[in-house]
Amino acid sequence: MEIVKKYRYAILMGMDILQVIISCFLVSLFLGSSFAITANLSLSIFAVIVIVHVFCFKTFHLYKIIWRYATVRQLMKCAFSEFVAETILYLLLAVCTHKLPPLFFVMEFNILTFMLIISRMVYMLMIAYGADIRKRMAEDKQRDKARTLIVGAGEATKILLNDIYSNSHVIYDPICLVDDELSKQNRTLHGVKVEGKIEDIPELCEKFNIKVIIFSILTIDNQRKKEILRVCSQTNCFVKKVPNFKDFVEKRENIIKNIQNVSIHDLLGREPIHIENDSLAGFIGGRVVMVTGGGGSIGSELCRQIAALKPRQLIILDIYENNAYAIQQELIRNYGNNLRLKVEIASVRDISKMDLIFKKYHPEIVYHAAAHKHVPLMEHCPEEAVKNNICGTFNTAKLASQHGVKRFVLVSTDKAVNPTNIMGATKRCCEMIVQVMDTISKTEFVAVRFGNVLGSNGSVIPLFEQQIAMGGPVTVTHPDIIRYFMTIPEASQLLLAAGSMAKGGEIFILDMGDPVKITDLAKNLIKLSGYVPGRDIEIKFIGLRPGEKLFEELLLNEEGIQKTETSQIFIGAPLNIDREKFFKQFSELKVAADKNDSREVCKLLAKLVPTYHQPEEQLHVTYKNLEDNEGDDKERVLA
């Protein structure tokens, strides 16, 4: 078959010349002895007949058609080109006084057309048969391929299977399909049978010894997708997925190379927050926006989303030049000269440098994401947490007020609620700074509070992935520890929304959905990687880290809750804070931090943030709250 492919042009042309000669011979036989070849068909006329036919066949591109994929339209081209050839021959031979009866041309047209079409169909069958032979020969190598179950029997799977079968280097061996649609049960798609429904996946994986599951459904809501993937995670198979709808459309010519691993984001994913882009564009568009900590995981995503809203200028401020450089280059690649972009390497602790930056750019909106966030490290270095988080926030907020910034948005955390660690206490203090500043400034100060962010720097997910890649163990601090999770784009979108709807003094809170048990998270990650928890990868409990608590909260007991026009965003009511007392205690704390007196810093921070408790104290309170609310964390937090 490879020889046929290599010399297909010459083979087809030679086959056509032979068919022309045979058709002439057959016609002469049908017409009888009165029309003998020797009498009326000289070699020169034979040559003319052959040349005219080949000329017409080439003119109508019969030799450029990929006959393996030919349709009726291409076959009709054969008939039409033959009709043109016979017409030219009749006229040409009539002019040259070589008398051949019209019946000759009519009969040759019918015979040769039939032969042309049949020969093409035979050629098509030969190519298909050759492909089938190659497929059967490849079956000997199937042991090296992964037995694969595909979820979904729609258009995406049709394209996926076609790509698998046309690529000899693919590692997947499709064994069966599953689909919930009743009309598809027990039917086949590209020779692969629909063996059952979604709920049958664990049983089918065991029955057919499946090693890989590919999720191949494009149009599905996040909740249903999450449910299906959780069923898949009950198996010991690697779980993969086709690209999302946009990428699938763009890469449909080579889907198999773009198969992705299913991530924990897919298992935890929720329906996206719906915020009108028009309102965000009206708020951001045409304004000078500054993002502190703009190179971090949240800060960089903020910059991406802000850039798409066409600000007059975007200023990225960060102390770590590598991160700042990375987001700068990404935005330059994506927007070029359409985005006025400036990057400043500076620390929010350096008030004189920050003052110069405010004077230089006159930002109208500031998103303050710069902070130290690692809980255990801040327990060890409380004075650095105070200098960077509290003093850095105060410096930036003070300068925002002095330079007439319209709105200042603080990135906060659920760890600020009843904090049991230094980091959380400093972020609660930052929220207090924002609420105090809002009462004495024309700038509108707000804070946005949310839980853990999937994939952020220091997040548990990358740590688990690294530990799995190294063969384990996966380390979890406590069997009962739970956390709220959201994605980086969600967090950034909330921050932008808060900026657009704020009136000043609010703490915006996202409905984080249901809490996730970290032990379950670890087990799911291990399963998605194709391993069995406890057998292939061990889960090891190492104890709570310094300052860590089992359950995070989103609201202080004193805070009320208000709904906004966006169903997943809430507002915690501003608290009454004694300004004079706050600034006096803040000054004392700053002096202790500048002296690097860790013990005094912790003591003064506890005075400044009354809700700051040791983890042991808070653990007792939290367990009692959980019992009182029958374990319904969402109601406890947002009711």
Residues 6+ apart with CB under 8 A from 220: 228
Cα 141 from chain centroid (whole Å): 33
Region of residue 343 (left: phi > 0; alpha: psi -120 to 50; beta: else): beta
77, 225, 415, 527: which is the annotated catalytic residue? 415
* Angstrom distance (rounded) from CA 586 to CA 605: 8
Q: Tokens 């750019």 — which residue?
A: 361
* Angstrom distance (rounded) from CA 389 to CA 348: 9
* Angstrom distance (rounded) from CA 194 to CA 160: 15
Q: Strands, DSSP E only, in 113-171?
A: 146-151
Q: Identify residue 300 by its one-letter amino acid code.
A: S
**For 77-81, which contacts have Cβ atoms below 8 Å and span 24 or more sequence positions?**
78/113, 78/116, 78/117, 78/120, 79/113, 79/116, 79/117, 81/56, 81/57
* Angstrom distance (rounded) from CA 468 to CA 539: 10
Counting every residue written for the chain, the total comes to: 639
415 assigned to active site: yes
Q: Determine phi and psi for 459, rounding to 5 degrees.
A: -65, 155
Nearest CA among 191, 163, 159, 166 for reference residue 176: 191
Q: Tokens 């079956």 — which residue?
A: 139
The residues with which 291 forms a beta bridge, in sequence order, are 316, 367
Nearest CA among 571, 555, 381 for reference residue 484: 555
Q: Identify the DSSP state of 176.
A: E
* Angstrom distance (rounded) from CA 575 to CA 506: 9
* Angstrom distance (rounded) from CA 201 to CA 213: 9
CA Rg, the chain, in Å? 36
Q: What would the two tokens of residue 250 be? A: 């763009």
* Angstrom distance (rounded) from CA 200 to CA 220: 19
Q: What would the two tokens of residue 422 be? A: 């230094």
Write out the catalytic residue numbers: 415
